[in-house]
Structure 1
Amino acid sequence: MAESTRARMVTAAVESLRRRGLAGMSFTEVLADSGAARGAIYHHFPGGKAQLVTEAAQLHGQQVADRLTDISGASPRAVVEAFLDLVRPVVEDSTRGCGCAIAAVTVSVDDDHSELLRTAAAAFASWAHQLAVALTDAGMPEARAEDLAQLLIALLEGAQVLCRADSSTTAFEQAARAALAATP
């Protein structure tokens, strides 16, 4: 079944956020990438750019959370290895100018961005929760699993920024080695 115009627009907005960030995202680009007509903007998103961006962030956050539910391992170290394998292509993309759509919405272009911040916080929390569950299921005590899960999310987000700036995955590989060394 073909994806709806609205869904194509939200997907295009996710990619625009990844490439250009919140400030650089434009309706023109979203329309071109989604194949939607100009009139589709306010028909599907009467709240304008804020509504489209919020829905794009929610979609991306859920997509990542869904991928993280597939992570498991016989040991906490195996879970960390699986996480690092999962995110490595994302970090590699960052060396070519792509970033995280969720992180992009935390950098506001206006004064009232509390809904975007709540959306981002919820996404990051759900990712950390999924990782903590996998680590706990692999035998790690809950409090330690929650701490390590937060560290891994911070590693992912920070690595994307550092690797984008350096056009290299060196920072990610260093952080990955440190995370593995700290994991039983």
Structure 2
Amino acid sequence: MAADTKSRMISAAIGLLQRHGLAAMSFTDVLAESGAARGAIYHHFPGGKQQLALEAARRNAEDVRSHLHELPASTPREVVEAFLGSVRPVVQASAGGGGCAIAAVTVDGGAAIADQSSLRTVAAEAFTGWGSELAGKLTHAGMSPSQAADLATLMIVTLEGAHILCRAEGSIAPFDRAAAALLSGLPNSC
């Protein structure tokens, strides 16, 4: 039961980070969305908001990495198309005001977080892990390791940039343009 409460609180924090960012994420909102009792806050997160944000970012990072692990890897084009297809709904949510929980802890620590470097470290590990997962898929699909690493980085940059541009425009159009450019930049042999 306690583990379930903590898990619900982390899930609520991920959603709040995606929608509002770290500075605007409050324990009141986490409790309301998770259905947890007020006493659960410091029982499960004695380190306060920073601990909750770190645990939420770590879980979100692992969830995304697990999802990327499931992408098909027959050809580089298949990897890229599957990636773009799988992240499109997430970017669509950004057009409606959502965002990336990992980006939120990277750029939006706010005054309530004493140790911003630990949040940036978790974010860097997340992005590195996602890139490694994609690079592994691309290498398995026949690309050289250096080409695969470069393309994986471009894919992550496309996703994260799309979150910002699509939210600003209130439209998925920037992502669609970037996705088309990404696909058109692939060699014909991919």
What is the CA distance between 1:72 and its match in structure 2? 1.9
The one of 123, 126, 140 aligned to 1:123: 126
> What percentage of residue pairs aligned between the two structures are identical?
55
* Matching residue of 1:91: 91
Report the TM-score when normalising by structure 2: 0.94
Superposed CA offset, 1:102-123 (max 9, x none):
0000122136300000000000
* Matching residue of 1:10: 10
Is 1:152 aligned with 2:151? no
Partner AA of 1:50 in structure 2: Q
Is 1:109 aligned with 2:110? yes
Query: Does the residue aligned with 1:23 lie in a helix, a strand or coil?
Result: coil
Query: Does the residue aligned with 1:158 lie in a helix, a strand or coil?
Result: helix
Query: Does the residue aligned with 2:38 lie in a helix, a strand or coil?
Result: coil
Query: Does the residue aligned with 2:22 lie in a helix, a strand or coil?
Result: helix
Structure-1 separation of matches of 2:68 and 2:175:
19
Partner AA of 1:70 in structure 2: E
Structure-1 separation of matches of 2:158 and 2:73:
19
Structure-1 separation of matches of 2:73 and 2:6:
37
* Matching residue of 2:164: 161
Gaps of at least 5 residues in structure 2 are: none
Query: Does the residue aligned with 1:103 lie in a helix, a strand or coil?
Result: helix
Structure-2 separation of matches of 1:2 and 1:23:
26
Partner AA of 1:160 in structure 2: H
* Matching residue of 1:174: 177
Q: Would the aligned equivalents of 1:9 and 1:30 in 2 still touch at CA under 8 Å?
A: yes
Structure-1 separation of matches of 2:178 and 2:17:
25
Give the number of aligned pairs.
Answer: 184
> Please, what is the CA RMSD of the aligned residues?
1.3
Query: Does the residue aligned with 2:133 lie in a helix, a strand or coil?
Result: helix
Instruction: Find runs of 4+ consecutive structure 1 residues off by over 3 angstroms.
Output: none
Structure-2 separation of matches of 1:183 and 1:172:
17
Question: 1:21-60 to 2 correspondence within 5 Å?
Answer: 21-60=21-60
Structure-2 separation of matches of 1:52 and 1:74:
38
